[in-house]
């Protein structure tokens, strides 16, 4: 329980500090972009694999 009592003031200071909020926002944006890029690359990879299989089959 003492550990929680030590963490609470630190969290309150982070919430009040605008720099921490900005850093958190940038972190969330980076995470969303990362997930979007993974989805795009996965879709592109599947499409590219299908395309190459079709080309290989026609040769």
Instruction: Compute CA 18 distance to the chain's CA centroid, rounded to the nearest angstrom.
Output: 22
Query: Is residue 17 left, alpha or beta, with left meaning phi > 0 and alpha meaning psi from -120 to 50?
Result: beta
Tell me the chain's radius of gyration from C-alpha atoms: 23
pLDDT tens, 7-30? 888 778 777 777 767 888 898 999
**Dihedral sign (CA 50, 52, 53, 54):** positive
- Domain tally for the chain? 1
Tokens of 47: 């499409």
Section 30-40 average pLDDT: 93
Phi and psi torsions of 35, nearest 5°: -65, -40
Q: Which is higher by pLDDT, 15 or 46?
A: 46
């Amino acid at each position: 329980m003492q550990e929680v009592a030590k963490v609470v003031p630190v969290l309150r200071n982070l919430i009040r500090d605008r720099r921490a909020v900005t850093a958190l926002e940038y972190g969330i944006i980076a995470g969303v972009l990362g997930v979007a890029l993974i989805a795009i690359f996965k879709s592109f990879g599947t499409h590219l694999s299908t395309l190459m299989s079709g080309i290989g089959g026609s040769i």
